[in-house]
Amino acid sequence: MAMEAEEIGQLIREGIPGARVRIEDMRGDGDHYAAYVESLAFEGKSRVQQHQMVYEALKGKMGNELHALALYTGVPEK
């Protein structure tokens, strides 16, 4: 069963408090999403570490309920 965009965003926001999250349904099929996540928690972390933080926030749903997710992460501009 596929996940809704709002559920994806909510999990990320709960796992990375204060994060700015935007989720896009890339194909309109509810199965292929892009997540744009900005957080001060990413400061000083590599891109791989940032993505690992997002995957952790998704609580094991990546690869199961969540089939395809393109991740774009970064630290907000000051």
8 within a domain of the structure (yes/no): no
pLDDT score, position 1 = 58
- Residue 13 scores a pLDDT above 80: yes
pLDDT in tens, 18-72: 999 999 999 887 788 999 999 999 999 999 999 999 999 998 888 778 878 999 9
How many structural domains is the chain composed of?
1
Total Cβ atoms within 10 A of residue 60: 10
- Specify the pTM: 0.89
What is the rounded distance in angstroms from the CA atom of residue 17 to the CA atom of residue 40? Answer: 10
3 within a domain of the structure (yes/no): no
Domain extent, residue 43, equals 15-74
35 within a domain of the structure (yes/no): yes
Looking up residue 57, the CATH number of its domain turns out to be: 3.30.300.90
